[in-house]
């Protein structure tokens, strides 16, 4: 049985694995670049959140500190995706674009405005904004990457995706289960049909506050190999105090498989699905050392895993490091969930039997 999958051509022994964060925000409070924990560490339920979306605890750190904080724990690909309505420490969430277009068109890019050169830190950065677009009567978030679009202008989602495509940008749907559960997967069919630059959706957001694996599974079943939809994971970190079960720093991330550490290689990996996603939960998600695909089976090598489940058409069809062909009969796709301790898990992209 032949299989279509994104890891074809990946040289696991030669490619480097790069920790990648594509969903972050300017810090709302003071954070430190030499810590590997969520900050601030005060329970959000005890401190009121102000109109800017921050706890009134401390002055806001520069995004420069945010980049260094992620770099110091190993991230080498990064995007700051501030909300379209948050500009220079001011919040304009209920302000229409027409009222102040020049101000709302501003983005957090370039990094030189923050007095830092990511290249000197060994980080590939993509410009980005968490935009909003009208979809089925309400505003949905869309992450635009590698564009200078600062605001969605309350346009439809297809119109916004066309704007991103016109700039040769890329797009991701963040926390889609915030708006629709798996039973309403059909609301996303038209946008994935209309825009190739819409690469996929977050299946993990922050500390898994909007689980979206079931929604992803339904979309994979609907489209099959003709229109792959890649899984993403993002911290959605704001540098804001949160309760223990809401801490976001270094919880959800992507691991890109790159032949070279360059922007072109990053874009290609994101577009072709040559990466996997991790949710650290309360521990550390296992790294995948290699994936072997043959005519008879698919195997995952993850020495630190405590268990591996194979999900096909939304159901567990096998456990262990290998899934066999006879377990994939009449299945649209299969994907692996590589489990660690403390709810930690790494998820592959889909494999399609053809």
Domains of the chain in start order, with CATH, are 14-280 (3.20.20.140)
Predicted local distance difference test score (pLDDT) of residue 265: 98
Q: Are 339 and 308 in contact (CB under 8 A)?
A: yes
Q: Are 348 and 336 in contact (CB under 8 A)?
A: yes
Give DSSP secondary structure letters for 307-318.
Answer: EEEEEETTEEEE
SS3 (DSSP) at 75: strand
Predicted local distance difference test score (pLDDT) of residue 49: 67
Give me the tens of pLDDT residue by residue for the chain, a chain 354 residues long.
788 999 999 999 999 999 999 999 999 989 999 999 999 887 766 777 666 556 667 889 999 999 999 999 999 999 999 999 999 888 899 899 999 999 999 999 999 999 999 999 999 999 999 999 999 999 999 999 999 999 999 999 999 999 999 999 999 999 999 999 999 999 999 999 999 999 999 999 999 999 999 999 999 999 999 999 999 999 999 998 888 778 899 999 999 999 999 999 999 999 999 999 999 998 999 999 999 999 999 999 999 999 999 999 999 999 999 999 999 999 999 999 999 999 999 999 999 998
Bridge partners (DSSP) of residue 139 are 134
At 53, list the tokens.
């979306």
Provide CB contacts within 8 A for 350, sequence distance 6+.
Answer: 5, 220, 228, 229, 333, 334, 335
At 287, list the tokens.
């790294």
210 CA to centre of own chain: 13
SS3 (DSSP) at 353: strand
Distance CA(302)–CA(322), nearest Å, equals 11
Predicted local distance difference test score (pLDDT) of residue 51: 60
Of 52, 57, 49, 1, the C-alpha closest to 29 is 57
Predicted local distance difference test score (pLDDT) of residue 83: 97
Neighbours of 40 (CB within 10 A): 20
Distance CA(334)–CA(322), nearest Å, equals 12
Q: Are 44 and 56 in contact (CB under 8 A)?
A: no
Q: Are 77 and 19 in contact (CB under 8 A)?
A: yes
Distance CA(338)–CA(348), nearest Å, equals 8
Provide CB contacts within 8 A for 163, sequence distance 6+.
Answer: 147, 149, 155
Q: Are 257 and 15 in contact (CB under 8 A)?
A: yes
Q: Are 161 and 195 in contact (CB under 8 A)?
A: yes
Q: Are 82 and 26 in contact (CB under 8 A)?
A: yes
Q: Are 133 and 156 in contact (CB under 8 A)?
A: yes
Predicted local distance difference test score (pLDDT) of residue 244: 78
73 CA to centre of own chain: 18
At 122, list the tokens.
């060994």
Distance CA(270)–CA(144), nearest Å, equals 13
Predicted local distance difference test score (pLDDT) of residue 52: 55
**Residue 313: what are its φ and ψ, rounded to 5°?**
50, 40
Distance CA(264)–CA(7), nearest Å, equals 17
Task: Give the DSSP letter of residue 241.
Answer: -
């Amino acid at each position: 049985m032949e299989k279509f999958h994104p890891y074809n051509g990946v040289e696991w022994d030669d490619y480097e694995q790069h920790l990648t964060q594509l969903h972050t925000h300017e810090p709302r409070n003071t954070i430190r670049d030499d810590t590997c924990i969520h900050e601030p560490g005060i329970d959000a339920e005890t401190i009121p959140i102000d109109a800017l979306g921050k706890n009134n605890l401390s002055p806001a750190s520069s995004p420069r500190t945010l980049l260094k904080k992620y770099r110091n724990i190993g991230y080498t690909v990064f995007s700051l995706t501030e909300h379209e309505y948050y500009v220079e420490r001011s919040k304009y969430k209920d302000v229409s674009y027409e009222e102040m277009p020049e101000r709302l068109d501003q983005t957090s890019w370039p990094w030189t405005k923050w007095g830092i050169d990511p290249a000197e830190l060994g980080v590939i950065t993509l410009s980005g904004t968490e935009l909003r677009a009208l979809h089925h009567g309400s505003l949905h978030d869309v992450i635009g990457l590698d564009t200078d679009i600062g605001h969605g202008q309350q346009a439809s989602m297809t119109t916004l995706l066309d704007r991103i495509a016109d700039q040769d940008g890329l797009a991701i749907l963040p926390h889609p289960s915030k708006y629709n559960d798996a039973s309403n997967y059909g609301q996303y069919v038209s946008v994935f049909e209309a825009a190739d630059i819409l690469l996929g959706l977050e299946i993990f957001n922050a500390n898994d506050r909007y689980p979206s694996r079931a929604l992803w599974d339904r979309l994979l079943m609907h489209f099959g190999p003709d229109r792959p939809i890649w899984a993403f994971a993002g911290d959605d970190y704001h540098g804001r105090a949160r309760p223990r079960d809401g801490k976001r720093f270094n919880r959800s991330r992507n691991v890109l498989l790159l032949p070279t550490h360059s922007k072109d290689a990053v874009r290609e990996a994101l577009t072709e699905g040559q990466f996997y996603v991790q949710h650290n939960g309360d521990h550390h998600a296992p790294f995948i050392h290699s994936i072997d695909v043959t005519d008879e089976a698919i195997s995952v090598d993850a020495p630190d895993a405590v268990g591996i489940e194979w999900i096909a058409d939304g159901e567990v069809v096998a456990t262990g490091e290998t899934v066999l062909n006879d377990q994939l009969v009449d299945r649209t796709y299969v994907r692996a969930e590589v489990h660690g301790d403390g709810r930690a898990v790494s998820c592959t992209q889909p494999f399609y039997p053809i």
